[in-house]
Structure 1
Amino acid sequence: MGRVPDLAGTIIATHAGARGSMHQKAADGHACGHSFELPRLGILLRQAAPRFVEGVIAPVAVFYAAFALWGLNGGLVAAVGWVYGGLAWRYARGHGVPGMLLLAAVGVTVRAGLAAATHSPVLYFLQPTLGTLMVSGSFLVSVPLRRPLAQKIATDLVPMPEAFLRHVRVRRFFSRVSLLWASVFLANAALSLWMLFSQSIAVFLWVRTSLVAALGAVAVAVSVWGFRRCAGRVNAEPATA
Protein backbone atom coordinates (compact mmCIF):
# COMPACT_ATOMS: atom_id res chain seq x y z
CA MET A 1 0.00 0.00 0.00
CA GLY A 2 2.93 2.28 0.61
CA ARG A 3 4.81 2.24 -2.69
CA VAL A 4 3.76 5.21 -4.76
CA PRO A 5 3.30 4.00 -8.33
CA ASP A 6 2.68 0.43 -7.18
CA LEU A 7 1.56 -0.69 -10.63
CA ALA A 8 4.66 0.74 -12.22
CA GLY A 9 6.91 -0.96 -9.69
CA THR A 10 5.23 -4.25 -10.41
CA ILE A 11 5.66 -3.85 -14.15
CA ILE A 12 9.28 -2.83 -13.88
CA ALA A 13 10.09 -5.78 -11.60
CA THR A 14 9.10 -8.33 -14.25
CA HIS A 15 12.63 -8.33 -15.61
CA ALA A 16 14.26 -9.86 -12.54
CA GLY A 17 14.39 -13.59 -13.20
CA ALA A 18 15.04 -13.27 -16.92
CA ARG A 19 17.89 -10.80 -16.72
CA GLY A 20 20.65 -13.30 -17.44
CA SER A 21 19.06 -14.41 -20.68
CA MET A 22 18.44 -10.77 -21.60
CA HIS A 23 22.16 -10.03 -21.29
CA GLN A 24 22.94 -12.91 -23.61
CA LYS A 25 20.36 -11.74 -26.14
CA ALA A 26 21.79 -8.24 -26.00
CA ALA A 27 25.27 -9.59 -26.68
CA ASP A 28 23.92 -11.50 -29.65
CA GLY A 29 22.19 -8.30 -30.79
CA HIS A 30 25.49 -6.42 -30.86
CA ALA A 31 26.88 -9.10 -33.14
CA CYS A 32 23.86 -8.94 -35.47
CA GLY A 33 23.52 -5.19 -36.02
CA HIS A 34 20.15 -3.79 -34.92
CA SER A 35 18.55 -7.15 -34.05
CA PHE A 36 16.97 -7.70 -30.64
CA GLU A 37 14.57 -10.29 -29.22
CA LEU A 38 12.46 -9.95 -26.07
CA PRO A 39 12.35 -13.02 -23.77
CA ARG A 40 9.18 -15.07 -23.92
CA LEU A 41 6.09 -13.52 -22.35
CA GLY A 42 5.58 -16.54 -20.10
CA ILE A 43 8.92 -15.92 -18.41
CA LEU A 44 8.02 -12.29 -17.74
CA LEU A 45 4.57 -13.18 -16.42
CA ARG A 46 5.95 -15.80 -14.03
CA GLN A 47 8.23 -13.14 -12.58
CA ALA A 48 5.50 -10.50 -12.48
CA ALA A 49 2.76 -12.53 -10.74
CA PRO A 50 4.38 -12.89 -7.28
CA ARG A 51 5.46 -9.27 -7.26
CA PHE A 52 2.00 -8.11 -8.30
CA VAL A 53 0.45 -10.06 -5.42
CA GLU A 54 3.07 -8.74 -2.98
CA GLY A 55 2.97 -5.13 -4.12
CA VAL A 56 -0.70 -4.61 -5.06
CA ILE A 57 -3.11 -7.28 -3.85
CA ALA A 58 -1.66 -8.26 -0.46
CA PRO A 59 -1.23 -4.69 0.91
CA VAL A 60 -4.87 -3.91 0.12
CA ALA A 61 -6.04 -7.13 1.76
CA VAL A 62 -3.88 -6.54 4.85
CA PHE A 63 -5.02 -2.95 5.30
CA TYR A 64 -8.70 -3.67 4.74
CA ALA A 65 -8.77 -6.75 6.99
CA ALA A 66 -7.21 -4.78 9.85
CA PHE A 67 -9.40 -1.75 9.09
CA ALA A 68 -12.55 -3.91 9.26
CA LEU A 69 -11.47 -5.52 12.54
CA TRP A 70 -9.82 -2.65 14.42
CA GLY A 71 -10.68 0.56 12.59
CA LEU A 72 -8.46 3.11 10.91
CA ASN A 73 -5.56 2.93 13.37
CA GLY A 74 -5.50 -0.85 13.12
CA GLY A 75 -5.39 -0.64 9.33
CA LEU A 76 -2.56 1.90 9.44
CA VAL A 77 -0.54 -0.23 11.86
CA ALA A 78 -1.06 -3.28 9.65
CA ALA A 79 -0.02 -1.36 6.52
CA VAL A 80 3.17 -0.09 8.16
CA GLY A 81 3.83 -3.54 9.59
CA TRP A 82 3.48 -5.07 6.12
CA VAL A 83 6.12 -2.72 4.69
CA TYR A 84 8.62 -3.24 7.51
CA GLY A 85 7.91 -6.96 7.52
CA GLY A 86 8.88 -7.05 3.85
CA LEU A 87 12.11 -5.20 4.64
CA ALA A 88 12.93 -7.61 7.46
CA TRP A 89 12.20 -10.60 5.22
CA ARG A 90 14.57 -9.34 2.53
CA TYR A 91 17.25 -8.59 5.09
CA ALA A 92 16.90 -12.02 6.74
CA ARG A 93 17.30 -13.73 3.37
CA GLY A 94 20.43 -11.73 2.63
CA HIS A 95 18.95 -9.92 -0.35
CA GLY A 96 19.82 -6.48 0.91
CA VAL A 97 17.46 -3.53 1.19
CA PRO A 98 17.60 -0.86 -1.56
CA GLY A 99 17.77 2.73 -0.41
CA MET A 100 14.61 3.62 -2.31
CA LEU A 101 12.71 0.95 -0.44
CA LEU A 102 13.90 2.39 2.87
CA LEU A 103 12.73 5.83 1.78
CA ALA A 104 9.37 4.34 0.81
CA ALA A 105 9.07 2.77 4.27
CA VAL A 106 9.80 6.12 5.91
CA GLY A 107 7.21 7.75 3.67
CA VAL A 108 4.59 5.17 4.65
CA THR A 109 5.36 5.74 8.33
CA VAL A 110 4.96 9.52 8.01
CA ARG A 111 1.71 9.16 6.04
CA ALA A 112 0.32 6.70 8.56
CA GLY A 113 1.26 9.01 11.43
CA LEU A 114 -0.49 11.98 9.82
CA ALA A 115 -3.57 9.90 9.04
CA ALA A 116 -3.71 8.60 12.61
CA ALA A 117 -3.25 12.09 14.08
CA THR A 118 -6.00 13.60 11.93
CA HIS A 119 -8.24 10.49 11.89
CA SER A 120 -8.45 10.91 8.11
CA PRO A 121 -7.65 7.99 5.81
CA VAL A 122 -7.73 10.44 2.91
CA LEU A 123 -4.30 11.76 3.89
CA TYR A 124 -2.88 8.26 3.81
CA PHE A 125 -4.05 7.54 0.26
CA LEU A 126 -3.67 11.04 -1.18
CA GLN A 127 0.13 11.10 -1.39
CA PRO A 128 0.50 7.96 -3.56
CA THR A 129 -2.21 9.30 -5.84
CA LEU A 130 -0.41 12.61 -6.26
CA GLY A 131 2.78 10.63 -6.86
CA THR A 132 1.04 8.72 -9.64
CA LEU A 133 0.02 12.05 -11.19
CA MET A 134 3.66 13.17 -11.13
CA VAL A 135 4.72 9.94 -12.82
CA SER A 136 2.17 10.61 -15.56
CA GLY A 137 3.61 14.07 -16.08
CA SER A 138 7.16 12.68 -16.23
CA PHE A 139 6.21 10.26 -19.02
CA LEU A 140 4.42 13.04 -20.90
CA VAL A 141 7.20 15.64 -20.66
CA SER A 142 9.86 13.13 -21.70
CA VAL A 143 8.37 12.79 -25.20
CA PRO A 144 8.86 16.37 -26.54
CA LEU A 145 12.31 16.32 -24.92
CA ARG A 146 13.10 13.30 -27.14
CA ARG A 147 14.15 11.29 -24.10
CA PRO A 148 11.12 9.00 -23.71
CA LEU A 149 10.91 7.69 -20.18
CA ALA A 150 9.70 4.30 -21.40
CA GLN A 151 13.01 3.82 -23.20
CA LYS A 152 15.00 4.97 -20.17
CA ILE A 153 13.27 2.46 -17.91
CA ALA A 154 13.56 -0.33 -20.46
CA THR A 155 17.27 0.20 -21.12
CA ASP A 156 18.05 0.51 -17.41
CA LEU A 157 16.61 -2.96 -16.88
CA VAL A 158 17.10 -4.74 -20.21
CA PRO A 159 20.35 -4.32 -22.17
CA MET A 160 19.65 -3.54 -25.82
CA PRO A 161 22.04 -2.92 -28.71
CA GLU A 162 22.70 0.75 -29.46
CA ALA A 163 21.99 0.16 -33.14
CA PHE A 164 18.57 -1.22 -32.23
CA LEU A 165 17.76 1.78 -30.02
CA ARG A 166 18.82 4.25 -32.73
CA HIS A 167 16.44 2.77 -35.27
CA VAL A 168 13.64 5.18 -36.21
CA ARG A 169 10.94 2.58 -35.60
CA VAL A 170 12.26 1.91 -32.08
CA ARG A 171 12.48 5.60 -31.21
CA ARG A 172 8.94 6.09 -32.46
CA PHE A 173 7.72 3.08 -30.49
CA PHE A 174 9.16 4.27 -27.18
CA SER A 175 7.70 7.74 -27.69
CA ARG A 176 4.26 6.27 -28.29
CA VAL A 177 4.54 3.91 -25.34
CA SER A 178 5.58 6.81 -23.11
CA LEU A 179 2.40 8.62 -24.16
CA LEU A 180 0.41 5.46 -23.49
CA TRP A 181 1.75 5.15 -19.95
CA ALA A 182 1.30 8.87 -19.32
CA SER A 183 -2.38 8.33 -20.14
CA VAL A 184 -2.58 5.20 -17.98
CA PHE A 185 -1.13 6.92 -14.91
CA LEU A 186 -3.26 10.02 -15.50
CA ALA A 187 -6.40 7.87 -15.62
CA ASN A 188 -5.18 6.04 -12.51
CA ALA A 189 -4.73 9.31 -10.62
CA ALA A 190 -8.03 10.81 -11.80
CA LEU A 191 -9.96 7.68 -10.87
CA SER A 192 -8.24 7.47 -7.50
CA LEU A 193 -8.90 11.11 -6.63
CA TRP A 194 -12.56 10.87 -7.60
CA MET A 195 -13.13 7.69 -5.62
CA LEU A 196 -11.08 8.90 -2.66
CA PHE A 197 -13.30 11.94 -2.15
CA SER A 198 -16.64 10.45 -3.19
CA GLN A 199 -16.66 6.79 -2.11
CA SER A 200 -16.15 4.76 1.03
CA ILE A 201 -12.74 3.33 1.90
CA ALA A 202 -13.92 -0.18 1.05
CA VAL A 203 -15.11 0.89 -2.41
CA PHE A 204 -11.94 2.90 -2.94
CA LEU A 205 -9.67 0.01 -2.01
CA TRP A 206 -11.28 -2.80 -3.96
CA VAL A 207 -12.92 -1.11 -6.94
CA ARG A 208 -10.01 1.25 -7.54
CA THR A 209 -7.47 -1.55 -7.19
CA SER A 210 -9.41 -3.78 -9.60
CA LEU A 211 -9.90 -1.06 -12.20
CA VAL A 212 -6.30 0.13 -12.01
CA ALA A 213 -5.02 -3.44 -12.29
CA ALA A 214 -7.23 -4.08 -15.32
CA LEU A 215 -6.13 -0.84 -16.96
CA GLY A 216 -2.50 -1.65 -16.30
CA ALA A 217 -2.87 -5.19 -17.66
CA VAL A 218 -4.29 -3.83 -20.91
CA ALA A 219 -1.45 -1.31 -21.17
CA VAL A 220 1.14 -4.01 -20.51
CA ALA A 221 -0.41 -6.25 -23.18
CA VAL A 222 -0.44 -3.39 -25.69
CA SER A 223 3.16 -2.46 -24.82
CA VAL A 224 4.47 -6.02 -25.16
CA TRP A 225 2.54 -6.60 -28.38
CA GLY A 226 3.77 -3.31 -29.79
CA PHE A 227 7.38 -4.01 -28.86
CA ARG A 228 7.31 -7.48 -30.39
CA ARG A 229 5.77 -6.06 -33.57
CA CYS A 230 8.34 -3.26 -33.68
CA ALA A 231 11.28 -5.60 -32.99
CA GLY A 232 10.04 -8.07 -35.59
CA ARG A 233 9.99 -5.37 -38.26
CA VAL A 234 13.39 -4.06 -37.26
CA ASN A 235 14.91 -7.55 -37.15
CA ALA A 236 13.51 -8.28 -40.62
CA GLU A 237 15.50 -5.42 -42.11
CA PRO A 238 19.06 -6.10 -43.32
CA ALA A 239 21.75 -4.85 -40.94
CA THR A 240 23.64 -1.81 -42.13
CA ALA A 241 27.40 -1.91 -42.26
Structure 2
Amino acid sequence: MTRAPGPKDGQGHAGGHHVFELPRVTALLMHALPRFVEGVIAPVAVFYAALMVLGLNGALVAAVAWVYGGIAYRYVRGHPVSGMLMLAAVGVTVRAGLAAATHSAVVYFLQPTLGTLCVSMAFLASVPLGKPLAMKLAKDMAPIPDAFYKHDRVHRFFLRISLLWSGVLLANVGVSLWMLFNESISMYLWIRTGIVAGFGALGIAVSVWGFKRVVRHVNREPGQAPAA
Protein backbone atom coordinates (compact mmCIF):
# COMPACT_ATOMS: atom_id res chain seq x y z
CA MET A 1 0.00 0.00 0.00
CA THR A 2 1.34 3.42 -0.93
CA ARG A 3 2.07 5.63 2.05
CA ALA A 4 0.46 9.04 1.99
CA PRO A 5 3.00 11.88 2.01
CA GLY A 6 3.57 13.38 5.43
CA PRO A 7 5.47 16.35 6.84
CA LYS A 8 8.81 14.60 6.33
CA ASP A 9 8.10 14.34 2.63
CA GLY A 10 7.87 18.11 2.40
CA GLN A 11 4.15 18.14 1.78
CA GLY A 12 0.86 16.89 3.17
CA HIS A 13 -2.81 17.63 3.56
CA ALA A 14 -4.70 19.21 6.44
CA GLY A 15 -8.48 19.30 6.14
CA GLY A 16 -8.29 18.98 2.34
CA HIS A 17 -5.77 21.83 2.15
CA HIS A 18 -2.43 21.15 0.53
CA VAL A 19 0.37 21.85 3.00
CA PHE A 20 4.07 22.22 2.24
CA GLU A 21 6.94 22.10 4.71
CA LEU A 22 10.11 23.91 3.67
CA PRO A 23 13.20 21.67 3.82
CA ARG A 24 15.64 22.48 6.60
CA VAL A 25 18.05 25.30 5.78
CA THR A 26 20.99 23.10 6.74
CA ALA A 27 19.87 20.47 4.23
CA LEU A 28 19.64 23.06 1.46
CA LEU A 29 23.07 24.46 2.33
CA MET A 30 24.67 21.02 2.44
CA HIS A 31 23.19 20.35 -1.00
CA ALA A 32 24.40 23.62 -2.55
CA LEU A 33 27.69 24.25 -0.72
CA PRO A 34 29.87 21.59 -2.42
CA ARG A 35 28.77 22.81 -5.85
CA PHE A 36 29.43 26.43 -4.91
CA VAL A 37 32.91 25.65 -3.57
CA GLU A 38 33.80 23.53 -6.58
CA GLY A 39 32.45 25.86 -9.25
CA VAL A 40 33.15 29.30 -7.71
CA ILE A 41 35.60 29.30 -4.78
CA ALA A 42 38.07 26.63 -5.90
CA PRO A 43 38.85 28.12 -9.35
CA VAL A 44 39.68 31.47 -7.71
CA ALA A 45 41.92 29.81 -5.10
CA VAL A 46 43.68 27.73 -7.77
CA PHE A 47 44.21 30.82 -9.94
CA TYR A 48 45.69 32.83 -7.08
CA ALA A 49 48.01 30.05 -5.92
CA ALA A 50 49.27 29.47 -9.47
CA LEU A 51 49.65 33.22 -10.03
CA MET A 52 52.04 33.45 -7.07
CA VAL A 53 54.11 30.48 -8.28
CA LEU A 54 53.80 30.33 -12.07
CA GLY A 55 52.81 33.83 -13.16
CA LEU A 56 49.78 34.94 -15.14
CA ASN A 57 49.90 32.40 -17.97
CA GLY A 58 50.45 29.52 -15.56
CA ALA A 59 47.53 30.72 -13.44
CA LEU A 60 45.23 30.85 -16.47
CA VAL A 61 46.20 27.30 -17.47
CA ALA A 62 45.73 26.05 -13.90
CA ALA A 63 42.25 27.60 -13.56
CA VAL A 64 41.08 26.10 -16.85
CA ALA A 65 42.64 22.71 -16.02
CA TRP A 66 40.91 22.64 -12.62
CA VAL A 67 37.43 23.15 -14.04
CA TYR A 68 37.77 20.81 -17.01
CA GLY A 69 39.57 18.25 -14.85
CA GLY A 70 36.53 18.22 -12.56
CA ILE A 71 34.21 17.65 -15.50
CA ALA A 72 36.40 14.86 -16.89
CA TYR A 73 36.58 13.17 -13.48
CA ARG A 74 32.80 13.10 -13.21
CA TYR A 75 32.38 11.85 -16.74
CA VAL A 76 34.82 8.98 -16.19
CA ARG A 77 33.22 8.04 -12.87
CA GLY A 78 29.72 8.27 -14.31
CA HIS A 79 28.69 11.08 -11.95
CA PRO A 80 26.41 13.94 -13.07
CA VAL A 81 28.05 17.28 -13.82
CA SER A 82 26.40 20.17 -11.96
CA GLY A 83 25.06 23.13 -13.91
CA MET A 84 27.23 25.45 -11.82
CA LEU A 85 30.38 23.58 -12.87
CA MET A 86 29.35 23.73 -16.54
CA LEU A 87 28.79 27.48 -16.26
CA ALA A 88 32.16 27.82 -14.55
CA ALA A 89 33.80 25.96 -17.44
CA VAL A 90 32.32 28.29 -20.03
CA GLY A 91 33.13 31.36 -17.98
CA VAL A 92 36.71 30.44 -17.16
CA THR A 93 37.44 29.57 -20.81
CA VAL A 94 36.30 32.96 -22.08
CA ARG A 95 37.99 34.82 -19.21
CA ALA A 96 41.29 32.98 -19.65
CA GLY A 97 41.31 33.58 -23.40
CA LEU A 98 40.74 37.33 -23.07
CA ALA A 99 43.21 37.65 -20.18
CA ALA A 100 45.89 35.80 -22.15
CA ALA A 101 45.27 38.00 -25.18
CA THR A 102 45.58 41.20 -23.14
CA HIS A 103 48.21 39.89 -20.68
CA SER A 104 46.19 41.35 -17.83
CA ALA A 105 44.95 39.72 -14.63
CA VAL A 106 42.58 42.67 -14.21
CA VAL A 107 40.78 41.63 -17.39
CA TYR A 108 40.39 38.11 -15.97
CA PHE A 109 38.56 39.40 -12.91
CA LEU A 110 36.71 42.23 -14.65
CA GLN A 111 34.69 39.86 -16.80
CA PRO A 112 32.74 38.06 -14.03
CA THR A 113 32.03 41.45 -12.44
CA LEU A 114 30.44 42.62 -15.66
CA GLY A 115 28.59 39.31 -15.79
CA THR A 116 27.28 39.95 -12.28
CA LEU A 117 26.03 43.34 -13.45
CA CYS A 118 24.12 41.63 -16.26
CA VAL A 119 22.58 39.15 -13.81
CA SER A 120 21.58 42.03 -11.53
CA MET A 121 19.81 43.70 -14.44
CA ALA A 122 18.15 40.38 -15.34
CA PHE A 123 16.70 40.13 -11.81
CA LEU A 124 15.48 43.71 -12.10
CA ALA A 125 13.97 43.25 -15.57
CA SER A 126 12.12 40.09 -14.52
CA VAL A 127 9.98 42.06 -12.03
CA PRO A 128 7.96 44.28 -14.41
CA LEU A 129 7.61 41.26 -16.72
CA GLY A 130 5.89 39.38 -13.89
CA LYS A 131 8.30 36.45 -14.23
CA PRO A 132 10.63 36.79 -11.22
CA LEU A 133 14.03 35.27 -11.83
CA ALA A 134 14.30 34.36 -8.14
CA MET A 135 11.42 31.93 -8.60
CA LYS A 136 13.16 30.15 -11.46
CA LEU A 137 16.30 29.74 -9.37
CA ALA A 138 14.33 28.50 -6.37
CA LYS A 139 12.81 25.74 -8.50
CA ASP A 140 16.32 24.49 -9.27
CA MET A 141 17.48 24.53 -5.65
CA ALA A 142 14.65 23.04 -3.60
CA PRO A 143 12.01 20.31 -4.08
CA ILE A 144 8.99 22.59 -3.78
CA PRO A 145 5.53 21.65 -5.18
CA ASP A 146 4.60 23.61 -8.29
CA ALA A 147 1.22 24.54 -6.77
CA PHE A 148 2.94 26.81 -4.26
CA TYR A 149 4.68 28.79 -6.98
CA LYS A 150 1.28 29.55 -8.53
CA HIS A 151 -0.10 31.04 -5.33
CA ASP A 152 -0.50 34.84 -5.54
CA ARG A 153 1.23 35.49 -2.22
CA VAL A 154 4.21 33.33 -3.24
CA HIS A 155 4.44 35.07 -6.60
CA ARG A 156 4.48 38.50 -4.96
CA PHE A 157 7.18 37.32 -2.57
CA PHE A 158 9.44 36.26 -5.42
CA LEU A 159 8.92 39.60 -7.13
CA ARG A 160 10.23 41.33 -3.99
CA ILE A 161 13.11 38.87 -3.63
CA SER A 162 14.11 39.46 -7.24
CA LEU A 163 14.38 43.17 -6.43
CA LEU A 164 16.42 42.30 -3.34
CA TRP A 165 18.91 40.20 -5.29
CA SER A 166 19.19 42.83 -7.98
CA GLY A 167 20.30 45.24 -5.25
CA VAL A 168 22.65 42.72 -3.60
CA LEU A 169 24.38 41.94 -6.89
CA LEU A 170 24.61 45.62 -7.82
CA ALA A 171 26.31 46.33 -4.48
CA ASN A 172 28.73 43.48 -5.19
CA VAL A 173 29.54 45.03 -8.57
CA GLY A 174 30.26 48.41 -6.99
CA VAL A 175 32.60 46.94 -4.37
CA SER A 176 34.33 44.72 -6.94
CA LEU A 177 34.99 47.49 -9.44
CA TRP A 178 36.30 49.88 -6.81
CA MET A 179 38.70 47.30 -5.35
CA LEU A 180 39.79 45.96 -8.74
CA PHE A 181 40.99 49.38 -9.89
CA ASN A 182 42.24 50.68 -6.54
CA GLU A 183 43.79 47.67 -4.76
CA SER A 184 46.24 44.87 -5.54
CA ILE A 185 45.01 41.56 -6.97
CA SER A 186 45.77 39.90 -3.63
CA MET A 187 43.69 42.43 -1.68
CA TYR A 188 40.97 42.23 -4.31
CA LEU A 189 40.71 38.45 -4.08
CA TRP A 190 40.52 38.04 -0.32
CA ILE A 191 38.91 41.23 1.00
CA ARG A 192 36.45 41.55 -1.86
CA THR A 193 35.56 37.85 -1.52
CA GLY A 194 34.74 38.38 2.15
CA ILE A 195 32.60 41.43 1.49
CA VAL A 196 30.74 39.77 -1.36
CA ALA A 197 30.19 36.64 0.76
CA GLY A 198 28.74 38.87 3.49
CA PHE A 199 26.31 40.50 1.07
CA GLY A 200 25.35 37.06 -0.25
CA ALA A 201 24.82 35.61 3.23
CA LEU A 202 22.56 38.53 4.16
CA GLY A 203 20.56 38.11 0.96
CA ILE A 204 20.18 34.37 1.56
CA ALA A 205 19.13 34.91 5.18
CA VAL A 206 16.44 37.42 4.20
CA SER A 207 15.26 35.20 1.34
CA VAL A 208 14.95 32.07 3.47
CA TRP A 209 13.30 33.92 6.36
CA GLY A 210 10.83 35.57 4.01
CA PHE A 211 9.98 32.36 2.21
CA LYS A 212 9.41 30.44 5.44
CA ARG A 213 7.06 33.25 6.48
CA VAL A 214 5.18 33.02 3.18
CA VAL A 215 4.90 29.24 3.48
CA ARG A 216 3.36 29.59 6.95
CA HIS A 217 0.78 32.08 5.62
CA VAL A 218 -0.14 29.83 2.68
CA ASN A 219 -0.42 26.76 4.88
CA ARG A 220 -2.81 28.62 7.21
CA GLU A 221 -5.33 29.31 4.42
CA PRO A 222 -7.91 26.53 4.97
CA GLY A 223 -9.62 25.28 1.87
CA GLN A 224 -7.73 27.67 -0.42
CA ALA A 225 -5.21 25.52 -2.14
CA PRO A 226 -3.10 27.23 -4.79
CA ALA A 227 -4.42 27.00 -8.33
CA ALA A 228 -3.11 23.99 -10.22
TM range (shorter): 0.7 to 0.9
Q: Is residue 141 from structure 1 mapped to residue 147 from structure 2 by the alignment? A: no
Match of 2:112 among 128, 132, 140: 128
Q: Is residue 111 from structure 1 mapped to residue 111 from structure 2 by the alignment? A: no
Q: Which residue of 2 aligns with 1:181?
A: 165
Q: Which residue of 2 aligns with 1:93?
A: 77
Are the equivalent residues in 1 in contact too, given 2:15–2:222 (CA < 8 A)? no
State the distance in 1 between where 2:221 and 2:95 align: 52
Match of 2:212 among 228, 238, 241: 228
Query: When the two structures are superposed, what TM-score results if normalisation uses the length of structure 1?
Result: 0.80
Match of 1:51 among 35, 42, 45: 35
Q: Which residue of 1 aligns with 2:10?
A: 25
Q: Which residue of 1 aligns with 2:57?
A: 73
- C-alpha deviation, 1:97, in angstroms: 4.2
Shift in CA distance, 33/72, structure 1 to aligned 2, threshold 3 Å:
same
Shift in CA distance, 29/74, structure 1 to aligned 2, threshold 3 Å:
farther
State the distance in 2 between where 1:130 and 1:117 align: 18
1 or 2 for the larger relative contact order (CA 8 Å, sep ≥6)? 1
State the distance in 2 between where 1:99 and 1:230 align: 28
State the distance in 2 between where 1:29 and 1:156 align: 24
State the distance in 2 between where 1:97 and 1:168 align: 35
Larger Rg: 2
1:195-217 deviation per Cα after TM superposition (whole angstroms, max 9, x unaligned): 11221110111111111111111
Q: Is residue 193 from structure 1 mapped to residue 177 from structure 2 by the alignment? A: yes
1:188-234 deviation per Cα after TM superposition (whole angstroms, max 9, x unaligned): 12211221122111011111111111111111111111110110111
State the aligned residue count. 220
Are the equivalent residues in 2 in contact too, given 1:133–1:185 (CA < 8 A)? yes
SS of 1:39's partner is: coil
State the distance in 2 between where 1:105 and 1:163 align: 34
For structure 2, the 5+ residue unaligned runs are 1-5
Are the equivalent residues in 2 in contact too, given 1:34–1:167 (CA < 8 A)? no
- C-alpha deviation, 1:57, in angstroms: 2.9
Within-5 A mapping of 1:199-218? 199-218=183-202
State the distance in 2 between where 1:223 and 1:67 align: 36
Q: Which residue of 1 aligns with 2:136?
A: 152
Higher helix share: 1
Larger deviation: 38-47 or 111-120? 111-120
Superposed structure 1 runs of 4+ greater than 6 Å apart: none
Shift in CA distance, 22/155, structure 1 to aligned 2, threshold 3 Å:
farther
For structure 1, the 5+ residue unaligned runs are 1-20
Larger deviation: 149-158 or 132-141? 149-158
Shift in CA distance, 65/234, structure 1 to aligned 2, threshold 3 Å:
same
Shift in CA distance, 94/213, structure 1 to aligned 2, threshold 3 Å:
same
- C-alpha deviation, 1:137, in angstroms: 0.5
